[in-house]
Structure 1
Amino acid sequence: MKLLLPLFIALHLIVARAQSVPSYSESCVQRYATHYGVPPEFIAALIDVESGWNPHALSNKGAMGMMQLMPATARRFGALQPFDGNQNIAAGTRYVTTLMWEFHGDLRLVAAAYYAGDHWVGQKRLNYRNPDVVAYVQAVRRRYLIRKFAAANPPRR
């Protein structure tokens, strides 16, 4: 029962947010995810977990922007200004697209690779035991499922 209340509150907030006009960042997610054939709810779930939609987020390891791109990843995927929301989301979505190809669309592996690095996850597949990676994948999965549910059940007007 205790687990249902936070889920209900999160779902309520997402549905309430869905009733409002999408923000510029949400529009960028929709545009780039559609362009690259990635579920927009997955990109949004990554942003939920990574930065909470803060375009100025900076981790203690140097990851930047909403999608928390490392400097080399930001450059590799074209974000010359990684704190610019449009560039950050575009580059992050391109990166997720390459991970989708590499891991054949397995969103658990994509999320793990996004967090821990594709080389490490590629070697281990689903045998990772790092509690931080497992917690991250679970958090992204939760947010993704909530967003998928909200998208499949739009509010009635």
Structure 2
Amino acid sequence: HFTNVRSDPRYRLYMREGGLKARQYIINYDAIIHKAAEQFDLEAHLIKAIIMTESAFDPDAISKSGAQGLMQLMPTTADDMRVHDPFDPEENILGGTRYLSLLLKKFKHDKRLAVAAYNAGPKIVAKHNSVPPIPQTKRFVEKVMKYYAEFRKKGN
């Protein structure tokens, strides 16, 4: 049994999140991310932050809820964004960035609200007109914003 919660004094760190593998993926997908950022007039740093949070740059990632690929697109969102193969990095990044762009427009370019909507859905964010009081969504927003600040600071 693996966990990220120390529930026993015999707990030992087995693996860190991200690391070298994630850094290599950032390099591998940098051109696609910049293409998507330019196409949808978004900051590449924000796209990278979402990818890092969603999949740690693993193009084959699948969540328990069925989200797929680098930007963890749900099948219905992938269809709406014209993504035929969510495991194809370019399709996934372009589709996820298209979706993020729509959310940013909907929430008047408020990054925190758009990121919350990316995680929880736009209806619940609109209902609360803030980051909804859902622990997973709050953690997601904080993590994305942390990575966003780090990527901006590093300039990559």
8 Å CA contact retained: 2:113, 2:131: no
CA distance in 2, matches of 1:79, 1:85: 10
**Alignment partner, residue 79 of structure 2:** 75
Q: Offset of 1:27 from its aligned partner?
A: 1.1
SS at match of 1:126: coil
> Which sections of structure 2, spanning at least 5 residues, go unmatched?
1-18
Aligned residue runs from structure 1 range 112-127, under 5 A: 112-126=116-130
The letter of the residue matching 2:94 is A
Percent identity between the two aligned chains: 33
Q: Which residue of 2 aligns with 1:58?
A: 62
Code of the aligned partner of 1:133: T
Q: What residue number does 1:92 align with?
A: 96
Q: Give the equivalent residue in structure 2 for 1:143.
A: 147
Q: Secondary structure at the match of 1:22?
A: helix
**What is the distance in 1 between the residues matched to 2:49 and 2:149?**
9
Q: Does 1:31 align with 2:35?
A: yes
Provide the C-alpha distance between the structure 1 equivalents of 2:91 and 2:102, rounded to a whole number of angstroms: 17
Q: Which structure is richer in relative contact order (CA contacts within 8 A, separation 6 or more)?
A: 1
Unaligned runs of 5+ in 1: 1-12
Give distance in 2, aligned partners of 1:131 and 1:122. 17
**Aligned partner of 1:40 among 31, 44, 47:** 44
CA distance in 1, matches of 2:33, 2:92: 10
Report the secondary structure of 2:27's partner residue: coil
Match of 1:4 in 2: none
| Whole-angstrom distance in 1 between the partners of 2:108 and 2:125 | 13
Runs of 4+ in 1 over 2 A off after TM superposition: none
TM-score normalised to the size of structure 2?
0.82
| 1:130 match | 134
- In 1, Cα distance between the equivalents of 2:56 and 2:27? 15
TM-score (norm 1): 0.81
Q: Cα deviations across residues 40-76 of structure 1 (Å, max 9, x unaligned)?
A: 1000000000000000000111100000000010011
Q: Is the 8 A contact 2:58 2:69 kept in 1?
A: yes
How far apart are the structure 2 equivalents of 1:31 and 1:22?
A: 14
CA separation in 2, counterparts of 1:39 and 1:55? Answer: 21
* 1:22 Cα offset (Å): 3.1
